[in-house]
Structure 1
Amino acid sequence: MYAIVDVETTGGKFNEEGITEIAIYKFDGHEIVDQFASLVNPEKEIQPFVVKLTGINNKMLARAPKFYEVAKRIIEIMQGAVLVAHNANFDYRMLRIEFERLGYEFHTQTLCTVELAQQLMPEEESYSLGKLTRSLGIPITDRHRATGDALATVKLFKMLMAKDSDKTIISTSLKSETRKKVEPNLKKLIEKSVSTTGVFYFYNQNSELIHLGKSKNIKKRVTQIFTSSQAKQKKIQKLVTDLSFEKTGNELIALLKENIEIKKNKPKFNKSLRKKNFSHGLYSFIDNDGYLNLKVKAIGKDMGYITSFSSLKSGKNFLEKMVSQHQLCRKLVGLEEIDTNCENYAIEQCHGACIQVENAESYNAKVQVVINQHNFIDKNIIIIDKGRETTERSAIMVENGIVLGYGFVDLQFQVTHPQVLKKVITVLKDDLDIRHIVQSYLRHKKVKKIIEY
């Protein structure tokens, strides 16, 4: 029995994605005997490029069931079946992540139709689902939607089974996840760690710092490193003899400490940080018609950017989000290079600044909201978030656009009086990387409170 699966996800950082749609067809080798399909509320933002690819947006998922509400049905339909998917590692990984968040260990055998097609149809030019099905004359509807892709995979798998007449290739391609063994010395270090947010440090037998990292769950991340089969992680496993950690209470301070400590200590197994960990910036200018334009471009000598990005793709994703949230014009934010109206004007999601239907004053006011929200120049703010203990809060102080430092406070008085807070924070060196980390975090994550002073 086989369970042909396809999932769509939010996109984002590896192992931090969420499932937005799932389709499962139970297949007995001849016909579909059961099926399940549903949108899923991932409880996190979908990346703009994924919205464009799949057509699934957060508004569509607002009333969709959360994963825990469909988990039982998924277990039922997959009972006793081999998971089959086009790029099975991805779909299997996403299911394991979602079940792990519920405290449930999900394990099953898998078959990948990409690998099977490569063995059984070596003459094909491409093994992407779209191109492969087109080449084989398999109809596919709703491309990049779970139901459409899963049904196409059912038809592809049926064709592959027919080609593998003696079933030797399919039987030898079955994969089972092997339980990872942890060496006794590493197990002790895992037990020494804690399930909290912070920075962890690995030392060798000479007490030299060889690796450090940050995590929202230190114990979980340490376990991942000690059970990984990747070459770098295996080298760490052989050399590490001790670890220490520092609680930070929240991810932003963990990111700051990680960056500072890597630059300061240059551990053997940490990638040496460049002068900047960002490459592109958001800039603004007034065009000949008086409209305020936004543009993401590489940061050279012009350091007068509004906010910074780790890549051009990251910057464009930000602009897509701003276009959607503030009904900005795709042409005037540099996402379309055209002489006519932008594509959003045709579907009434742009008010026509691209062809001067919307007046400059009205449009510029919307752009200015974006600039004010994300610009650090001349800003005096205190960012309040969770502390290391329930009675504590963290505070990051920004003055005149410079991140002065961070600290932990117990009293509201310390937070509301900047001169007092200055005395208790850990002062940071004026560093563009630090500013990038803080700005980037505030774009993507929520904090408890931001106080202007």
Structure 2
Amino acid sequence: MYAIIDIETTGGDYDEEGITEIAIYQYDGCKITDQFCSLVNPKKQIQPFVKKLTGINEKMLKNAPAFFEVAKRIIEITNNCIIIAHNAAFDYRVLKTEFKRLGYAYERKTICTITLSKKLLPDQKVFSLGKLASNLGIPFSDRHRAFGDAQVTLKLFELLVEKDIGKNIIREHTKVLKNNKTPKRYLKIIDKLPTKMGIYYILDADNEIIYIGKSKNIKQSVIRDLTSSNKKSLIIQNKISKVSFSITGGELTTHLKQQNEIKINRPALNSSAKYRIYPIGIRIDNTKTYHNIILEQVKNNFKYIAVYKNKKLAKKAILILASEFGIQLKHSNFSTLKNKNSNIITPNFNKIIQENESSKQHNKKIMELCESLSYPFSDFLLTENGRKYGEFTFILVKNYQFKGYGYFELNHQIKSMSQIVSRLVSMEENNDAKKLICSFLISKKYLKLINL
């Protein structure tokens, strides 16, 4: 649980400032669960430059509560939370100082979004909240007011969590559950989980991610993991110490995010997907006069036009495509398939095999086949539903290469390539990612296809 905080002060000497306004948004990693915003009477003068910057003056604060009157509410809303702030050292120091004046030792863990931004947004030149919001397309009204700044800090934190592909935020700050094996423990885990689509991470006592799952209903899938008796579930039930999740929104984004993070984090219980989801590939050998279709186990040093989960599916696909494009499969490494798979050969397949044609004609058909399995444009966006109402997901392909995904709310946030890249969670192109994207393109399981 997080508490996104912003504080406005009177200004003045170090540790002599007083709070004039405070805004807190309690956030569970998915949605705002509580919020508190109030002007605060600091019982001291506000520096002139601060009045000009924030618009807050002594007249506005005359009837505002003093800090001791809101202190209990601040303690309650930040209890068991990690404080998130832009320049957290300042906000946390001022907050601790105010509590110290009341004789209360206020202690919380903190995360600074400036520090995170420098690590996860290295291309940015300036890390002020206003500049980051402008460059990332985050709407920003009521600047230098606590509620406005806190709302933008929350949006920035959401984006940074998405960009944290290595899941360091989760590893370092996920709440540890009590180490017992009782059913009550599982109920506590399940109670915190959403029923939305996304990725969930199961960590052991050493903060190692042991399993990354995807689901249209995260809660339902974790319940299954904690109640099933198969080998994987029993290991999870024995080792689980921490749990976290990431709401994704779109189905394609969920698939792409899971396969990417499995390859990066290499969880023990995702062994079958650590390397490739689709291990069988079809490539073209153009070193021969008649370009050959090669079906084989995927190798790192070759480019494949399509990949499949097993040889049976790959063979079936090629037989259908060969029939569609009139390609002679004698120019392949599996020309004997005709007899073994006669039940899936189209009526004119035998005629195609028997025809004689020039290498030029044959190679042209191979090229057409390759184009049919490629992306529709060199640069394009696919859009899906986002994580919440009013938000959308984009998947970027640039120069025929998958680049990653991101979130947006307004069309102007993805108007230019620089804006798109600034919101992008980068991922590497691989055969699995291309297969997933192409399958969604073929089935038209997206909101919009935008040619850039």
Taking structure 2 as the reference length, the TM-score comes to 0.49
Larger radius of gyration: 2
The TM-score normalised by the length of structure 1 is: 0.49
Per chain length, whose mean CA-contact separation is higher, i.e. which structure has more relative contact order (CA < 8 Å, sep 6+)? 2
